[in-house]
Chain A
Amino acid sequence: MANLTINGKTFTLEVEPDTPLLWAIRENAGLTGTKYGCGIAQCGACTVHMDGVAIRACGVSVSEAEGKKITTIEGLASGNSLHKVQEAWIAQDVPQCGYCQSGMIMAVAALLNEKPKPTDADIDEAITNICRCGTFQQVREAIHTIASA
């Protein structure tokens, strides 16, 4: 049993404390926007925010996440208004298959929160998500568009 705060809501979940946060989010809280890609914190498909910081949810246990504020892709928008990263992603047609994009968007949102006008070097440093379709060029362009808005 664990109490998790996800997207501003408290979830009381029937999970063992060592369950990876990723699977608690997907299977117990039922929020499937956060994706499984590797399970070893390599690919970034499961990126969520924990107290505002981008983390890989497959590498964090439920017990470590208790008491923290978790935000997933489903909680990024404010009500009906999409987050500026989501808006830019739509306007610039960033996703291809889209599977990695929940994690990519969460990583970019955290970067922009920290550095509203990131340089290419900042982007290279902060965005380490794998995208097998190869959307990197669109990701970079969209980040710069947001930063210059």
Chain B
Amino acid sequence: MNKHVSPKMNRRAFVIGTAALGAGLAIGLDIPFGGPAVVRAADGSPEVNAWVVVRPDDTVVIRIARSEMGQGSLTGLAQLVAEELECDWSKVTTEYPTPGQSVARKRAWGDFSTGGSRGIRSSQDYVRKGGATARLMLIQAAADEWKVPASECTAANSVITHTPSGKTTTYGKVAEAAAKLTPPADVKLKDPKDWKLIGKGLLRLDTADKTTGTTVYGIDVKQPGMLNAAIKDCPVFGGKLKSFDEAKVVGMKGVKKVVKVGDTAVAVVADTWWHAKTAIEALPIVWDEGDNAKVSSESIAKWLAEGLDNAQPAYVGNKNGDAKAAIAGAAKKIEAIYSYPYQNHATMEPMNATALHTADRCEAWCGTQNGEAAFAAVLEASGLPAEKCDVHKVMPGGGFGRRGQTDYVRQAVMIAKQMPGTPIKLLWSREEDMAHGRYHPITQCKMTGAFDADNNLVALHYRLSGQSILFSLRPEALQNGMDPAAFQGVAQSGEAAFGYSVPNLLIEHAMRNPHVPPGFWRGVNVNHNAIYMECFMDELAQAAGQDPLEFRRKLMGNHPKHLAVLNAVAEKIGWSTPAPQGVYRGIAQVMGYGSYVAGAAEISVTDGSKIKVHRIVASTDPGYVVNPAQVERQIAGSFVYGLSALFYGGCTVKDGRIEQTNFDTYNSMRINEMPKVEAVMVPSGGFWGGVGEPTIGVAAPAVLNAYFAATGKRIRSVPLRDQNITFA
């Protein structure tokens, strides 16, 4: 399975996976595609291979390794397997293998990590092969029974037909025999033109329980004898727990124990969470806040601004010609400085995990975007080997990148370890969640553009100053100190490539890492890079006296896929015809996560400060669209996430800690602020791009460019609430 290992996988999970195998944990099965011994699911049904279990009643259970968190890829991945399996979609159900099972089976299910809009694009090849392999084995089993050549048999809708005789059987009847067969070494996948399920807007497989309150999220986990924990971690990042006065709360209703959690946090364990929460609020705690307590938003902004100075060191991420010389000798130049703040993921369900630590075993139940990373956290915090641990994934109430981190899982295990034999559910309050995010990184950007005498853009210097996510979370991925991901959306090539040709180009990053921990926040570095670049592109167009769309088009001749999505939104929104009276338009495009996206907004502005977003048109070329209904929802949802951050977001720092505490100070868009979003899908085929994140990048610049069109004023910092601008 190594060929499926993403280079972006969690390093610790990989190390543990390898170590576990070295310890002889592999259970001697020919994985991933079955083997002579029949492997059985929990209910005794045979596994045709690791991806496909068929029950005698023809129900097909498709194994899903990536996490569903609302983005719909559980359904999409099942469609990919079912497409090749030729099974009856109405009898498809899904289940998660556990990370412990995967490690014990040589990582039969590959990477569990669900981030970077990779859920489908990074596993589409091997899950489709899993479906195709199972189909061939089921057909072979039927052919063997009938004593006919498999080549005379076909499969459709879970029914196998021997064409010459007309004999039929079903998957459920031959699954047991199929599971004993040696899987074919090589399988051919369908030509996309023959797809029947891929490309269809099928209903999700996980909706019904979400409408009746029966879906189990992490917060809903119940275990026999379970107690509940509330926690407070040092509000200043990098600070420590000095002391707490346990005596003040031990007598409070329901309180069972007060425990130290590592060097930085304290938790109260009680019969109910409400009792635990009430007690932790009453617990006197003394923090050793350390030097970081001196840091504020102002001090961070000053430090980042210094990084905009060309004399300061910077990593070069994209370069063409000699931008500095061309700017120095240009007929005309313009310059602008933009900034983007910290943002909290603010998943609707605050972080939580349930852990049970017995004398020789540790298990956790949690919503996670990376089951293997959560598993690694359980191993690390418990000190137990892989074969004595496991993680049971439940539905996360939102992920957006936050649940790719495992801090909350580690905490739950550290508490449970101090109460062996008792399951402990740790739930963060919203306030704890706001205070201990893994925040969208903070940056500033100075851009300089230069024109020749004919108003052609001859040079562009893009100088980013600010935080690197990889520096904090995956330092092994830095390249000679440079964070390659910092250039998402403005990179020379790859899955987030710059879409303009400028003869003299310099894109560089002065890395400055404040103490506030950064994280992968849906859209990640595409978000600010797209705002900076696409708003400045409008400024350049204005300086050149040209239409923003036409100005872009002239620079995009060598980037036909970028241009195609831009043209698609321009056409759909009617760029060439006047907007309705009092309505103004803005446009933006970017590439991210292997997909090309563009957005256009129609807004009106009252008194310069009240924005009504009337209409959004957004196009995407992800290569292939697996489920257009879900892609449409991801596009619309991206505008909610991106515009909430633009209008209401922004986390500020005072005395080393985050100031925002809840949705009253970190608001989110409501239905009355939701524009009508029209999605235009223009899949061009031949590649697989992601859809969960890229569109967020164009949400803010499309609206900000429309705001300029309406008011003649440029907005160069986020959020708008700081500038007394809000939704109408």
Binary interface encoding of chain B residues 204-219 relative to chain A, with 1 for a CB under 8 A from any of its CBs, else 0: 1011101111111101
Question: A102 and B213: CB pair below 8 A?
Answer: yes
Question: A129 and B396: CB pair below 8 A?
Answer: no
Question: A90 and B208: CB pair below 8 A?
Answer: yes
Say whether A147 faces chain B, with CB atoms less than 8 Å apart.
no
On chain B, the residues within 8 Å of A123 by CB distance are 671-672
Closest CB in chain A relative to B438 CB, distance in Å: 16
User: For residue B214, which residue of chain A has the nearest CB?
Assistant: A33
Question: B207 and A90: CB pair below 8 A?
Answer: yes
Contact among B211, B400, B663, B676 for A89, CB-based, below 8 A? B211
On chain A, the residues within 8 Å of B79 by CB distance are none
Interface of B is mostly: loop
Once bound together, how far apart are the Cα atoms of A46 and B712, in whole Å?
43
Question: B213 and A73: CB pair below 8 A?
Answer: yes
Once bound together, how far apart are the Cα atoms of A27 and B644, in whole Å?
32
On chain B, the residues within 8 Å of A2 by CB distance are none
Say whether B240 faces chain A, with CB atoms less than 8 Å apart.
no
Closest CB in chain B relative to A3 CB, distance in Å: 18
Question: A124 and B69: CB pair below 8 A?
Answer: no
Once bound together, how far apart are the Cα atoms of A36 and B218, in whole Å?
12
Closest CB in chain B relative to A56 CB, distance in Å: 12
Question: B671 and A136: CB pair below 8 A?
Answer: yes
Say whether A130 faces chain B, with CB atoms less than 8 Å apart.
yes
User: For residue A99, which residue of chain B has the nearest CB?
Assistant: B397
Once bound together, how far apart are the Cα atoms of A90 and B669, in whole Å?
24
Say whether B195 faces chain A, with CB atoms less than 8 Å apart.
no
Question: A93 and B663: CB pair below 8 A?
Answer: no
Once bound together, how far apart are the Cα atoms of A131 and B669, in whole Å?
8
| A97-B348 in contact given A82-B211, A132-B398 (Cβ < 8 Å) | yes
Say whether B445 faces chain A, with CB atoms less than 8 Å apart.
no
Question: A43 and B637: CB pair below 8 A?
Answer: no
Closest CB in chain B relative to A94 CB, distance in Å: 8
Closest CB in chain A relative to B353 CB, distance in Å: 15
User: For residue A73, which residue of chain B has the nearest CB?
Assistant: B213
User: For residue B679, which residue of chain A has the nearest CB?
Assistant: A137
Interfacial residues of chain B within 642-666, with CB under 8 A of chain A in the complex: 644, 662-664
User: For residue B349, which residue of chain A has the nearest CB?
Assistant: A99
User: For residue A138, which residue of chain B has the nearest CB?
Assistant: B633
Say whether B273 faces chain A, with CB atoms less than 8 Å apart.
yes
Question: B219 and A86: CB pair below 8 A?
Answer: no
Beyond A23-B273, A42-B663, A136-B636: 11 further Cβ-contacts under 8 Å?
A32-B213, A35-B219, A37-B430, A45-B348, A82-B211, A97-B399, A105-B211, A124-B672, A127-B671, A132-B347, A137-B677
Return 8 A-B CB contacts under 8 Å, by A number: A27-B274, A36-B349, A39-B429, A93-B207, A98-B210, A127-B670, A134-B641, A138-B633
Query: A: which residues have CB within 8 A of B?
Result: 16, 19-20, 23, 27-28, 30-40, 42-43, 45, 72-74, 76-77, 82, 85-86, 89-90, 93-102, 105, 123-125, 127-140
Query: B: which residues have CB within 8 A of A?
Result: 69-72, 203-204, 206-208, 210-217, 219-220, 222, 228, 253, 272-274, 346-350, 395-400, 427, 429-430, 629, 633, 636-641, 644, 662-664, 668-672, 674, 676-677
8 closest A-B pairs by CB: A33-B213, A134-B640, A99-B397, A97-B70, A98-B210, A134-B637, A124-B672, A96-B70
